[in-house]
Amino acid sequence: MYARTRKSGTPHRTSRRTLLAATAGTAAAVAVGGTPARADDGKRHDRRLRALISRMTLEEKVGQLFVMRVYGHSATAPDQADIDANLKEIGVRTAAELIAQYRVGGIIYFAWAHNTRDPHQIADLSNGIQEASLAQPRGLPVLISTDQEHGIVARVGKPATLLPGAMALGAGSSRSDARRAGQIGGAELHAMGIRQDYAPVADVNVNPANPVIGVRSFGADPRAVAAMVAAQVKGYQSASVAATSKHFPGHGDTETDSHYGFPVIEHTEAQWAELDAPPFRAAIAAGIDSIMTAHIMVPALDPSGDPATLSRPILTGILREQLGYDGVVVTDSLGMEGVRTKYGDDRVPVLALKAGVDQLLNPPKLDVAWNAVLQAVRGGELTEARLDESILRVLRLKDRLGLLKDPYVSHRGVDRTVGTPAHLKAADRIADRTTTLLVNSEGLLPLSSRKRKKVLVVGADPASPSGTTGPPTTVLATALTELGFSATALSTGTAPSAATIAKAVAAAQDADAVIVGTYNVTAAGSQKTLVDELLATGRPVVALAIRNPYDVAQLPGVKAYLATYSWTDVELRAAARVIAGRVDPAGRLPVPVQRADDPARVLYPIGHGLSY
């Protein structure tokens, strides 16, 4: 067996026995391997894993429960700015020091933490983390995770394959596409050493005003969402990457973002069972490896006023006992306001464990959280046996993913897997089946590059997900130019000024057609003014909702309207092919769009979509 060194990727020989001995510390652990346990030997595997647990110190056990962020592209030699950030936020200089001091069981990657520059660097970082952990006494492999939902949430960017997000896949309504997307995404994460993905989102987006879920959800129909969630779970886990359905018990009906506030879900218990529960039931039936909690209050499920993350009635009573789930439960980030409103940062991790959580994700101050759990055990509020239950679940997962057999990856594996032509072509094919044509009242689409050669692309330019090649207007104009148009981009932003609108209107006078990208249009917002003034020029105007499809309700004068559900390259290129008539629009709305003047009435129902 070969493992790769962190710095150069040069192979060094490590015997399987040596690696497992380093992992477990005893010959008994060698038999554990990384092979998933069969039903008839599960108890034998558990005995071996429990033997590993029995040799841990209390401090090591506490560390295994935490999944922590760390700044830097390298486990041992990050840039000075990242060292400074680590010292300020965590009290350590590097990932290696984090592991040595706290013995964390997991590390989460973020682009903003400079963990995900490129695939080879990510693989080297992963190997460096594993080397640092296995070098410790009784060292265990680290479960490395990230949020790679695709669509608008992607921590690993190009040259990795970026795929359509959940609502786009919901518009395509193909389970095989959802599963294939999960398999591709999972295989690429696996090649870079990331073995737990916080996806798919299992929330049912029944509230158009939802500020935090929206297009991250597959849609508003619980049964359709359940089918897509199950397909994605199977796709990710076929690549030996743990899928994570989130956010239990369901974050789809809120107008509050739990990053900044404390949402309250007013569903009755019967409504929860009908609307929110089906995707989680489907995920469990599909063998989901982990489930993430939500920092929301659901009084019908727990009247105490506690967030679900800290609710024993919800996590143990419903998730464990009623739904029969015995996999890993991970919190959403403990730095979010929704879980910090009622209790201090020292109480939150203790209460989460008492509620039934197994992994404590990204506390704002690790020393506070780590010491709080340690003191709770020493003081008798938590038992060591309770910690052992969670550690056993985490070790079962690490075992099932093969980490106890070989946690290392290689540059060769990255090159064989990440961003391959086959994966990129598959992403384009999947995206072609998601673009949704909502309005085409005068047959404006498709545009002809012969009749309408000069195209002006204007519109919103929100912050781009990792790895996109530029602002949406530029990406779309480039794609249209490649399809035979002469396209010019003019970025007008999400809140264009009067001067910017005037500039766009003047530019439209010289165009044969105008395409305008919209992003969360409101009745009084300047994006609506921009579109109205472009329509007043008399030029053909095609509007493109690059995030929420609900924008169309605010712009009744538009004769042609498309929805892409994201502004990533893969979805904008697909939209360009639809605009040019190279691909027939095949997507269908996975959410209803209500009328702007009467939200009680539906303008376009679930399933609406036009074809050429």
For 149-159, the pLDDT digits (tens) are: 999 999 999 99
Nearest to 2 by CA among 10, 11, 50: 11
- Look up tokens 């500039």; give the residue: 503
- Shared domain for 398 and 469, answered yes or no, is no
Q: Which of 470, 553, 546 is nearest to 214 (CA)?
A: 546
**pLDDT (0 to 100) of residue 42:** 74
Q: Which of 416, 445, 479 is a domain's end point?
A: 416
pLDDT in tens, 11-29: 333 333 334 443 343 323 3
For residue 500, is it within any domain?
yes
- Both structure tokens of 299: 């009084």
Rounded Cα distance, 186 and 243, in Å? 9
Residue 33 lies in a domain: no
Residue 217 lies in a domain: yes
Burial 417-437 (b: 16+ CB within 10 A, else e): bbbbeebbebbbebbbbbbbb
In a domain, 421, yes or no: no
For residue 182, give the nearest of 145, 146, 233 by alpha carbon: 233
Determine the number of helices (DSSP H) and then strands (DSSP E) in the chain.
23, 20
Q: What is the pTM of this model?
A: 0.93
**β-strand pairing of 602-604 with 593-594:** antiparallel
Residues 220 and 277 in one domain: yes
Both 401 and 449 in a single domain? no
Residue 6 domain-assigned (yes or no): no
Tokens of 377: 């055990």
Residues 398 and 534 reside in one and the same domain: no
Among the residue ranges 45-49, 74-78, 102-106, 465-469, the one predicted with the least confidence is: 465-469
Q: What is the pLDDT of residue 489?
A: 97
- The residue count of the chain comes to 612
Active site residue 295: no
Whether residue 411 sits in one domain with residue 450 = no
Q: Let me know: does 61 contact 102? Beta carbons within 8 Å.
A: no
Task: Please check whether residues 403 and 450 belong to one and the same domain.
Answer: no
Residues 142/143/144/147 CA torsion (nearest 10 deg):
-160
Whole-number Cα distances in Å, 306 to 31, 66, 359, 603: 43, 21, 19, 37
**What pLDDT score was predicted for residue 609?**
97
Model pLDDT, residue 43: 80
- Could you say which of 416, 447, 481 is where a domain stops? 416
The structural domain count of the chain equals: 2
Q: How confident is the model at residue 41 (pLDDT cuts 50, 70, 90)?
A: low
- Of 355, 388, 416, the last residue of a domain is 416
Question: Does residue 43 sit within a domain?
Answer: no
The answer to whether 259 is a known catalytic residue is: yes
Which of 302, 332, 358, 569 is catalytic? The answer is: 332
In-domain check, residue 207: yes
**Shared-domain flag, residues 342 and 245:** yes
| CATH number of the domain within which 527 lies | 3.40.50.1700
Of the candidates 51, 59, 63, the residue with the CA atom closest to the CA atom of residue 26: 51
Reported as a single tens digit per residue, the pLDDT across 533-587 is: 999 999 999 999 999 999 999 999 999 999 999 999 999 999 999 999 999 999 9
404 and 523 within one domain: no
Q: In this structure, are 402 and 490 located in the same domain?
A: no
Q: Is residue 16 part of a domain?
A: no
Are the beta carbons of 318 and 272 closer than 8 angstroms? no
Q: Which of 570, 458, 204, 571 shows the shortest CA–CA distance to 562?
A: 571
Q: Give the per-residue pLDDT at 10.
A: 38
Q: What CATH number should be reported for the domain holding residue 384? A: 3.20.20.300
Domain that holds residue 192: 63-416
Same domain membership, residue 203 and residue 170: yes
Q: Residues 396-427: pLDDT tens digits?
A: 999 999 999 999 999 999 999 999 999 999 99
pLDDT computed for residue 452 by the predictor: 85
Task: For residue 82, name the pLDDT band (cuts at 50, 70, 90).
Answer: very high
* One domain, residues 447 and 517: yes
Would you say 109 and 145 are in contact if contact means Cβ atoms under 8 Å apart? yes
pLDDT at 34: 36
| Residues 206 and 267 occupy one common structural domain | yes
Catalytic residue among 46, 259, 345, 532: 259
Q: Pick the range with the lowest mean pLDDT from 229-233, 390-394, 470-474.
A: 470-474
Distance CA(561)–CA(439), nearest Å, equals 5
